[in-house]
Structure 1
């Protein structure tokens, strides 16, 4: 029999599959002699219809995934599968215990983004349960319909194209036979089981397949950003689920004290997005068995004053990583990113840290993700919702205005966000003259928070825009947020431009669009560019810069004018078209 060698070194597929059989026979409890005997006795049907592999897959969810779904989970030369980690084996074990063992019927995982929870949980569990008929009716619920439909597509393609499954199970899915449902949201199998995928806004209650209610419900990224944005949205999401699920689940049937029909298994997979989001509430329910994992396995600590400190922040701000950061953020060095990486490669061994998926993730890549957006990293990768409400921008690249003006600018625009009220969050009118240079960086050449209110001092507001247009003759476009004045200010500015002998010849284009996108969503798009120093400010504009550095999201910030107008500039400047005017030559020069 094969020794316990590295399976990646086995070239022959038959030998590889036999090794898998042997390995997992040992894992389910057979000793070496018994495993050898089973393989020998079943040598004529190891992988065929209801053969030894089929029998072992019924006992071991992990073996089913590693053999029958090997193109997804087993590392081979001809696929892009990543090596599995302990966290994946634990998911498989808990699902197996819940489906065919005595495990909890309501299990959940809160995992970092990129851990493969959908593949290892939703996809794997659905395929296993319906290949063997463990579950009659699976309901996959995701935040939006397109995500739910992708699950169906992946499962459908697997059962139609996977020769390992067809060889051992026969034809389980027939998309040509009209008596079976097979579309973008529903799959009916030849063994009379059914999978349906729905969005989280669709009701669960009342759904049946024959006389069966859903007996496997998978909540995969069940909440969207809109579901966590406001307290009302979070309450609505939780209430909808709480009211819905009790009318949807299949109750266990007991006769003479024995379970003759198991009840519904609920599997929840997601990432925390707020302290009171759907998954944050679900993990507190005593009837659920949840595990919460973080991507970087570094614990928080208590300092000498007894104050709890974030371990991730401390780690990446001290030691060799502090030197790395200093090099990374040295914007005066054009090769700052390359030099920082070189520093890492020179100290790679000392700069390693434990990761949840050490076999696949890279310490340098995750560190760069942290430096680009620490808050997002801690929320998405560490499941740390305490970081919500922290400052979004850790640094702003600045140089003296005089030095910024030495660059060759290829596009220049004026962005204006007029104040609409006399107090509160909108008591500033924000003006930003921004350019893109031929070095592909963006420069906020002049960034101001005007002390006047645009509504009560309208003429002063328009005159200030005229002043900036004259001060920067290369401005070709003006963007004005439309929500405040519904276009009146854009019209007045255009009239003043046309009356001015200097400005009217410049063909300045005015863009007057309403604010439709959520501000936090829009502002979040510039975080990586700000933190990497790709948007550069004049150090003289300190008040404007301070407002950016103090921004913690709309809910937690007094002002949002500065980061909002910067996001408009950064997202628009690359798309403006500068029309060069033709210069008429003296006809005498042609002869």
Structure 2
């Protein structure tokens, strides 16, 4: 629904909202348009003295319409105005609100779920507005919101508090619902007790749900909002652990329906879940297949898979962004020799904007250009996060790479240079070489892998050879000021031996070389994922002669799907570490005689 902007006042806008949604309440129950208008006019005339006041017509309509409640009582979030950043509603939001409304006060399912793209507003539309609606009308007494981490849970409470307290529209129609200065009511970072004796609590997914009560009432609305984290999806053990927590804990925190004489007089706990699939066997992937849940899955770009010229099935967005005008756009964007390639690509888009449009889930807010740029930065991540395509997991992460010859690379002016080493130390074919990278940041803002190699050195078996190789690189690149060695393998022994070898070297002993020797605690997939957009955009440049390193690097598809990750790991280490190096500005001292003094 599009809201007109050209209102003479807030009062006029509010009356328009009231009329529109009151009429919609009639048409939704199959009353024809003309009759709905008559009934709407009659109802407004009957309540003309109390349209927006205490328990007035707006209050009555909000009780049966979640959408009206959000659009009027929480209009600073959901209603586009000249002075806010709210975007027009999409059909997906209206459908979500309708389904939530039916589950809470109608005959809808008690277990309702959505798998939705990132950026669609899952929390705002699925959790914030509905939670406020439920407690304002006491549709639910105890609302429990559960998310992956505690800080996210605390943000839910803050958002609910900020939008319920001192809200002129709510206070005018409901009276005061929340008073954070009244000590008789709970109000802290994770809990809110309202004056009408309803309660909202937000917890992390690691906190138990069983046994929680408010005034002897179990949670009667439980929302699992992004219930899983990346760590919960990373390994099979983690995925099983998350599913077991849900099975052993969440399901038993529910209040069963109250039946009398065989009839349900009070609905049981409504359980809702919003999230994004992150693996074929992650929590949401399992939940969507569960027969007792009613789930819908939406994708951001509304295109289907296609059969390509070879007769093979091709992902719809891959086909979209690698053919026709979008392929021309991509070629301009990936012309790494053009410093203005992004501007030129945008100009190409604006010249062909009408022909390059494609259907989107939230076309009122998203743009084709923005989605395309997100895709080209990291296609696999895009297909997973925006399209809900878990089949893309296991595909290669890097789609293109900017390379230059070593001669071209060395023609740049460098600001700082460092060497990174990833020693191989255990036996087996997977660990028969060590990875080394000499990298620099240039004045043009790009980072260059000036020399990247996979040396046939097993550091544990050939320790001296490993140390000698690092000395050789330091000599070859006299501008290198730092060398980074991961501490996990030798717990600092190699750093100590390298330091001794530098002191004993005839030229290196005069250089100020800093050895960085730190434990690598960050997950490799997380670390490598940070460089994907920069490699795909050509801001991380590699040497075309380093073919073995490049081939291994470009084959990376995640730890679980890649036999060798040494090249990617050492490249990511350089990218992250080079930013930590501080450069010293050189001061040029001039003789005062040169100024005629």
Bin of the TM-score, shorter chain as denominator length: over 0.9
Say if 1:186 and 1:194, in contact at 8 Å, map to a contact too: yes
Mapping for residues 268-279 of structure 1, pairs under 5 Å:
268-279=273-284
Say if 1:476 and 1:578, in contact at 8 Å, map to a contact too: no
Residue in 1 aligned with 2:47?
Answer: 42
Aligned pair partner of 1:55 in 57, 60, 66: 60
CA distance in 2, matches of 1:585, 1:454: 49
Aligned pair partner of 1:543 in 526, 540, 548: 548
Q: Does 1:320 align with 2:328?
A: no
**Aligned in 2, Cα 1:48/1:248: closer, same or farther, shift over 3 Å?**
same
Aligned pair partner of 2:445 in 440, 445, 470: 440
Say if 2:3 and 2:80, in contact at 8 Å, map to a contact too: no
Compute the TM-score of the two structures, normalised by the length of structure 1.
0.97
Q: Does 1:16 align with 2:21?
A: no
CA distance in 2, matches of 1:244, 1:415: 46
Q: What SS does the aligned partner of 1:182 have? A: coil
The structural deviation recorded for 1:261 is 1.5
Residue in 2 aligned with 1:208?
Answer: 213
**After the TM superposition, which of the residue ranges 156-165 and 265-274 deviates more from structure 2?**
156-165
Query: Could you give the per-residue CA deviations for residues 60-87 of structure 1, whole angstroms, max 9, x where no partner exists?
Result: 1111111111111000111111111000
Say if 1:523 and 1:564, in contact at 8 Å, map to a contact too: yes
**Aligned in 2, Cα 1:543/1:168: closer, same or farther, shift over 3 Å?**
same
**Aligned in 2, Cα 1:470/1:19: closer, same or farther, shift over 3 Å?**
same
Structure 1 residues without counterparts, runs of 5 or longer: none
Query: Could you give the per-residue CA deviations for residues 493-550 of structure 1, whole angstroms, max 9, x where no partner exists?
Result: 1111111121111111111111111111001000010000001111000110111110
Q: Does 1:414 align with 2:400?
A: no
RMSD: 1.9
Residue in 1 aligned with 2:165?
Answer: 160
The structural deviation recorded for 1:180 is 0.8
Residue in 2 aligned with 1:193?
Answer: 198
Query: Could you give the per-residue CA deviations for residues 10-49 of structure 1, whole angstroms, max 9, x where no partner exists?
Result: 1311111111111111111161111111112211100000
Mapping for residues 189-338 of structure 1, pairs under 5 Å:
189-303=194-308, 307-338=312-343
**After the TM superposition, which of the residue ranges 237-246 and 357-366 deviates more from structure 2?**
237-246
Query: Could you give the per-residue CA deviations for residues 434-491 of structure 1, whole angstroms, max 9, x where no partner exists?
Result: 0001001101000000012111111111111111111111111111111111111111
Aligned length: 588
Residue in 1 aligned with 2:23?
Answer: 26
Say if 1:294 and 1:381, in contact at 8 Å, map to a contact too: yes
CA distance in 1, matches of 2:512, 2:5: 65
Say if 1:175 and 1:182, in contact at 8 Å, map to a contact too: yes
Say if 1:60 and 1:96, in contact at 8 Å, map to a contact too: yes
Residue in 2 aligned with 1:88?
Answer: 93
The structural deviation recorded for 1:586 is 11
Q: Once superposed, which parts of structure 1, at least 4 consecutive aligned residues long, lie more than 3 Å away? A: 302-307, 578-591
Say if 2:306 and 2:319, in contact at 8 Å, map to a contact too: no
CA distance in 1, matches of 2:4, 2:153: 34
Aligned pair partner of 2:74 in 69, 75, 80: 69
Q: What SS does the aligned partner of 2:355 have? A: helix
The structural deviation recorded for 1:311 is 1.0
CA distance in 2, matches of 1:583, 1:180: 67
CA distance in 2, matches of 1:434, 1:292: 44
Q: What SS does the aligned partner of 2:26 have? A: coil
CA distance in 2, matches of 1:559, 1:351: 39
CA distance in 2, matches of 1:409, 1:219: 49
**Aligned in 2, Cα 1:403/1:260: closer, same or farther, shift over 3 Å?**
same
Structure 2 residues without counterparts, runs of 5 or longer: 28-35
Q: What SS does the aligned partner of 1:29 have? A: helix
**After the TM superposition, which of the residue ranges 234-243 and 415-424 deviates more from structure 2?**
415-424
CA distance in 2, matches of 1:433, 1:226: 31
The structural deviation recorded for 1:257 is 2.9
Say if 1:143 and 1:223, in contact at 8 Å, map to a contact too: yes
CA distance in 2, matches of 1:390, 1:541: 23
Q: What SS does the aligned partner of 2:343 have? A: helix
The structural deviation recorded for 1:584 is 10
**After the TM superposition, which of the residue ranges 381-390 and 176-185 deviates more from structure 2?**
176-185
Q: Does 1:7 align with 2:7?
A: no
**Aligned in 2, Cα 1:23/1:400: closer, same or farther, shift over 3 Å?**
same
Q: What SS does the aligned partner of 1:575 have? A: coil
Q: What SS does the aligned partner of 2:114 have? A: strand
**After the TM superposition, which of the residue ranges 427-436 and 30-39 deviates more from structure 2?**
30-39
**Aligned in 2, Cα 1:579/1:61: closer, same or farther, shift over 3 Å?**
closer
Q: Does 1:382 align with 2:379?
A: no
CA distance in 1, matches of 2:221, 2:164: 19
Query: Could you give the per-residue CA deviations for residues 81-107 of structure 1, whole angstroms, max 9, x where no partner exists?
Result: 111100000000000110111011100
Compute the TM-score of the two structures, normalised by the length of structure 2.
0.96
Say if 1:424 and 1:558, in contact at 8 Å, map to a contact too: no
